[in-house]
């Protein structure tokens, strides 16, 4: 798969940018805050229908502009395709934050952003990915969920249904709390949402576990190579119950900290227990737990368990890597996970994804760069951003197209100047 053309109009700090990319390596060089990550963000948006770093859609539109367009053309096994999104600020809306979106695929208007998913395959690796270890549980959930959907785009429907049920259930919990009593109708309605939440929730948990079980052996092997067989990587899926929080609570989002509860009868289930359970059994467990903590949930006005609260724990030699691994080891774990992700996507979908490497190569020593290169085929399109190419294994630069990024402008350097970049930047 290969992105051939990108066009950005009023996207972030790009006023108007048209760029042709080549197969194999493309290296975007520029100082900080010039628009390198923004460029990759546009490609990710068109691939996954969302930006992992924008807090709101509004952020993607250039500050002074009323609308933005991001579009690209890519080549795949099924031929050339075009993806396009256009966001416009709704001038009438009081907050000015409402965004109108138009999505186009091969010139045909689509209903939702979700329609973009499953077309352009992208795997990205950025310095931000250290959040997989150091950030809150949300990063880990987002990562595994985006991988689940990448491998099987049809599953995005389950996520959408889950999100809807969760929002509805939380709304109901809030209204019951504010009423100060639970009517029979409320009880019936709650039961409906419990059922939906448990059904979609169990499906999500099962899918996450299935992907993890395929990813782990590959990541384990990479970690073993990086550590010269000293470190065994494992991943635990933590099915959160309030009771379990204190046991695994080292890496909590502030707003997710639960109070331990006495009345809960089921402790946290680990990956092995969950993996052995049929989906129907997980549904039952979720239903039972939701019922048990109903009053607490009403008091807290939110749903306290389900896949939106679960977490992953990465361990080296069975020790929690957040607490015990050095910074270098943590970086290695992220590298192992990302390489495994690349291999898994490549194998499952039988087509090479486009690899985005945002600001990571210069941070890797020669040995790690070599390992990464061993999973990146020479003809796999790779778009690399960096402030400098010093320290790059020369093989990354071999045949690469070099682009200079400056203040929202990207320009391909002629080969002679590219040579200059290799030696001087």
> Using CB under 6 A as the criterion, which residues of the chain lie in contact with ligand ADP when the complex forms?
12-13, 30, 32-38, 59, 61-63
- Nearer residue to ligand ADP within complex by CB, 12 or 309: 12
- Nearer to ligand ADP by C-beta: 15 or 182? 15
Contacted by 369, from ligand ADP, Mg ion, none: CB < 5 to 8 Å by type: none
- Measured from the CB of residue 34, what is the shortest distance to Mg ion in angstroms? 8
Residue 59 or 365: the one with the smaller Cβ distance to ligand ADP is: 59
Helix axes 366-375, 184-226, angle to 10 degrees: 110
- Smaller CB distance to ligand ADP: residue 20 or 59? 59
The helix/strand/coil state of 360 is coil
**Residue 35 touches which of ligand ADP, Mg ion, none (Cβ within 5-8 Å per kind):** ligand ADP
CB of 151 within 8 A of CB of 345? Answer: yes
Q: How far apart are CA 358 and CA 37, in angstroms?
A: 7
Q: Which is nearer to Mg ion, 128 or 301 (CB)?
A: 128
Q: What's the min distance (Å) between Cβ of 109 and ligand ADP?
A: 25
What residue is closest to Mg ion based on CB? Answer: 37
- Which is closer to ligand ADP, CB of 59 or CB of 398? 59
Q: Which is nearer to Mg ion, 27 or 190 (CB)?
A: 27
262: DSSP letter: S
Which of the choices Mg ion, ligand ADP, none does residue 226 contact, using the CB cut-off of 5 to 8 A by kind? none
The answer to whether residue 303 forms part of the interface with Mg ion (CB under 5 A) is no
| Helix 137-151 with 156-179: angle, nearest 10 deg | 140
Q: How far is the CB of 358 from ligand ADP (least distance, A)?
A: 7
User: Which partner in ligand ADP, Mg ion, none is near 62 (CB below 5 to 8 A by kind)?
Assistant: ligand ADP
Cβ-in-10-Å burial (0-12, 13-18, 19+) of 366 comes to exposed
- Which residue, 5, 51, 47, 3, is CA-closest to 24? 3
Long-range contacts of 136-139 (CB under 8 A, 24+ apart): 136/251, 136/252, 136/253, 136/254, 136/256, 137/251, 137/252, 137/253, 137/256, 137/309, 137/310, 137/311, 137/312, 138/253
- When CB distances are held under 5 to 8 angstroms depending on the partner's kind, the choice from Mg ion, ligand ADP, none that residue 13 binds is ligand ADP
Least distance from ligand ADP to the Cβ atom of residue 200, Å? 34
CB of 342 to ligand ADP, least distance (A): 21
Task: Give the nearest distance from C-beta 57 to ligand ADP in angstroms.
Answer: 11
Nearby residues of 302 by Cβ (< 8 Å), 6 or more positions away: 170, 173, 174
How many of the chain's residues bind Mg ion (CB under 5 A)? Answer: 2
Closer to Mg ion by CB, 33 or 232: give it: 33
Are the beta carbons of 120 and 105 closer than 8 angstroms? no
Planar angle of CA 100, 164, 84, nearest 5 degrees? 30
Q: What is the widest separation between alpha-carbon atoms in the chain?
A: 77
For residues 218 and 384, which CB has a smaller minimum distance to Mg ion in the complex? 384
Shortest Cβ 359–ligand ADP spacing (Å): 7
Contacts to Mg ion from residues 1-40, by CB under 5 A: 36-37
CA 264/CA 352 separation, integer angstroms: 47
Q: How far apart are the first and last CA of the chain?
A: 30
In the bound complex, what is the minimum distance in angstroms from residue 14's beta carbon to ligand ADP?
8
Q: Which entry of Mg ion, ligand ADP, none binds 4, CB below 5 to 8 A by partner kind?
A: none
Give yes or no for a contact between 9 and 15, defined as CB atoms under 8 angstroms apart.
Answer: yes
The interface partner of residue 30, options being Mg ion, ligand ADP, none and the CB cut-off 5 to 8 Å by kind, is ligand ADP
C-beta of 126: minimal distance to Mg ion in Å? 8
The tokens 């809030």 sit on which residue? 174
Cβ burial of 128 (10 Å; 0-12, 13-18, 19+) is middle
Question: Which residues make up the interface to Mg ion (CB under 5 A)?
Answer: 36-37
């Amino acid at each position: 798969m290969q992105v051939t053309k990108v066009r950005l109009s009023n996207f972030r700090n790009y006023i108007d940018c048209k760029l042709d990319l080549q197969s194999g390596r493309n290296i975007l060089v520029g100082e900080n805050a010039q628009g390198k990550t923004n460029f990759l963000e546009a490609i990710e948006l068109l691939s996954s229908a969302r930006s992992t770093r924008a807090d709101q859609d509004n952020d993607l539109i250039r500050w002074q502009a009323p609308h933005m367009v991001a579009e690209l053309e890519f080549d795949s096994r099924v031929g050339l395709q075009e993806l396009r999104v256009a966001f416009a600020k709704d001038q009438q809306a009081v907050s000015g934050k409402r965004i109108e979106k138009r999505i186009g695929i091969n010139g045909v208007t689509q209903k939702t952003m979700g329609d973009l998913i499953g077309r352009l395959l992208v795997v990205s690796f950025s310095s931000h990915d250290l959040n997989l270890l150091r950030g809150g549980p949300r990063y880990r959930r987002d990562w595994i969920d985006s991988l689940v959907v990448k491998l099987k785009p049809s599953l995005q429907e389950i996520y959408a249904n889950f999100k809807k049920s969760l929002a509805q259930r939380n709304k109901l919990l809030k209204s019951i709390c504010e009423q100060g009593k639970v009517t029979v109708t409320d009880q019936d309605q709650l039961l409906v949402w419990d059922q939906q939440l448990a059904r979609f929730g169990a499906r999500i948990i099962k899918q996450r576990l299935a992907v993890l079980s395929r990813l782990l052996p590959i990541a384990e092997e990479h970690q073993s190579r990086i550590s010269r067989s000293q470190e065994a990587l494992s991943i635990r899926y933590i099915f959160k119950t309030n009771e379990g929080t204190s046991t695994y609570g080292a890496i909590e989002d502030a707003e997710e900290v639960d109070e331990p509860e006495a009345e809960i009868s089921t402790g946290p289930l680990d990956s092995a227990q969950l993996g052995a359970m049929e989906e129907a059994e997980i549904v039952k467990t979720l239903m039972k737990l939701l019922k048990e903590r109903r009053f607490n949930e009403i008091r807290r006005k939110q749903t306290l368990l389900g896949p939106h609260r679960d977490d992953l724990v990465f361990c080296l030699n069975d020790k929690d890597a957040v607490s015990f691994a050095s910074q270098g080891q943590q970086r290695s774990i992220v590298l192992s996970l990302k390489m495994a992700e690349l291999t898994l996507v490549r194998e499952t979908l039988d087509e090479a994804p486009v690899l985005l490497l945002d600001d990571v190569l210069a941070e890797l020593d020669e040995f790690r760069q070599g390992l990464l290169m061993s999973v990146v085929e020479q003809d796999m399109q790779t778009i690399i951003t960096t402030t400098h190419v010093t320290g790059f294994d020369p093989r990354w630069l071999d045949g690469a197209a070099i682009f200079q990024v400056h203040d929202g402008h990207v320009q391909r350097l002629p080969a002679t100047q590219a040579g200059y970049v290799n030696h001087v930047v």
